[in-house]
Amino acid sequence: MTDRPEPAEVPLVFAATTRLRRLALVAALSVVGAVMTAHGELLALAAIPLVLLAAHPRSRLPTRAEVAVRLDPMRCVEGDELLLELDVRVPGAHRVDAQLVVPDHTAMTRVGRAAAGSGTTATWLLAPQRWGRQRIGPLRLQVVAAGGLYAAPVSLEVAEVIVFPAAAALARAVAPRELAAPLGEHPSRAVGSGVEFAGVRPYQPGDRRRDVDWRTSARHGGLFVRQYSAERAFDLVLVLDTSADAGEIGGSSLDLTVRAATGLATTYLRAHDRVGLVTFGGPLRWLTPATGPRQLYRVSEAVMTVRPDESERDAGAVRFGLADLPRSMLPGRAFVCVVTPLLDDRPLDAVRLLLDRGFAPLVVDVLTSEPSLPVPAWPRRLRRRRMRAPDDLALRTWRMQREALTGERASRGGPVVPWDGEGDLTGALLHVMRSQTPAVRT
């Protein structure tokens, strides 16, 4: 929990409420009615609003409110809960109402309030359901004073929270057999000083005595020593297609793309591998492969920016593609994973380029939904039943186009793995890593 901030003094500017006007109206009507009809008892009707108006003079209105808002934590993962606390103290207030404005797809629950004298502490629980930089607030307060005759609005800015995408679950970090980078955790084909058994060979002068396999030596009548696999690191480059965001919010193609990227990066960085990131489709951005917890933070920050902001959308299509990527971004023997919704030819061009450079990328298809057709009004709906509507034709054409894209990709020798955000990618990764031999790089 962060330290409690000092309460800020907010000036209150009051305005008359509807209650004041209504009471004045009833009082005026009653006094005029009593005078015009010369019935004194009708003044009893006027007495109630008059006393209420006289009992709450404007001069007794509070001038300032002490307010403190705190939100904890300021960074979270999708679905995590944030605690928002509001301390408000207004001596002489009749009532204080609060309305918190939260972004779309953020669940809000009022936990409760603890009143203490003229002050109170109100608490809300917020659960952002979508990744990104979310602006919480403003928190709109309505300070009602003088028995409800006056009200002062107060608007408080709360904070901007960073909601990281939830990482997709991967069972384990699998790696190809051919690994170049030294000092890792993946056993490779090369013989070295790892812990995984690789085989036995005849003893040679200089071998360590503790490596002697006595059982094999006894069986063959000569000395044999055990060999172990060398443990190497692995370079993973994630190529994200951010050109389109299709599907329901929360499970859209871009949501699945960032979740897959975060999950893969988390898994491999925990295994002390090097992970790099490239985004194309929108602005071309890259992150050089590196290892360590700091790289995980960099990757998380980078995937937060894949959703184009307004200025980038206004700027239109970006003409830079993967061909403009520095060669150092894709180190030798790196494994490339392209995450794309496969909605146009650009991902295929990217894969073609990677193949030309000697990589065998795995393509993860993250499109889980089809375009929704507009529902026509009922007279048109009847007509649509009689003859095949052009919408259906468009949908069928779209399906055929996607099948052609997937087929073209498959014909080049690489699988396209559909992923809906729930499945495990380990099997697909293992299949591609073990079955394909990287071509000669140019």
Phi, psi of 38 (to 5 degrees): 55, 40
Q: Which is nearer to another protein, 55 or 191 (CB)?
A: 55
Coil, helix or strand at residue 72? strand
Is residue 49 close enough to count as binding another protein by CB under 8 A? yes
Whether 359 and 334 have beta carbons less than 8 Å apart is answered as yes
Residues in Cβ contact with 375 at an 8 Å cutoff, skipping those fewer than 6 apart:
381
Q: Tell the smallest beta-carbon distance from residue 13 to another protein (Å).
A: 12
For another protein, the closer of residues 22 and 388 by Cβ is: 22
Choice from 4, 75, 95, 215 touching another protein (CB under 8 A): 95
Chosen residue from 4, 64, 75, 110 binding another protein by CB under 8 A = 110
The rounded distance, in Å, linking the Cα atoms of 229 and 129 is 44
43 interacts with another protein by CB under 8 A: yes
Is 107 a binder of another protein (CB under 8 A)?
no
Residues 57-76 that bind another protein (CB under 8 A): 57-59
Cα–Cα distances (Å) from 93 to 6, 7, 257, in that order, read: 21, 17, 51
- Under rule CB under 8 A, residue 56 binds another protein: yes
Question: Residue 86 class from Cβ within 10 Å (0-12 exposed, 13-18 middle, 19+ buried)?
Answer: buried
Chain center to CA of 203: 56
Which range touches another protein (CB under 8 A), out of 39-47, 264-272, 320-328, 393-401? 39-47
Residue 100 contacts residue 94 (beta carbons within 8 Å) = no
Q: Smallest Cα–Cα separation from 24: which of 1, 2, 50?
A: 50
For the record, the structure tokens of 66 come out as: 């002490």
Q: 146-165: which residues touch another protein (CB under 8 A)?
A: 147-149
Site track for another protein across 255-294, x = CB under 8 A: ----------------------------------------
The least CB distance from residue 19 to another protein, in Å, is 6
Q: Confirm or reject binding of residue 50 to another protein (CB under 8 A).
A: yes
* Residues binding another protein (CB under 8 A): 16, 18-23, 25-27, 29-31, 33-34, 37, 39-45, 47-59, 86, 88, 90, 93-99, 110, 113, 115, 118-120, 122, 140, 142, 147-149
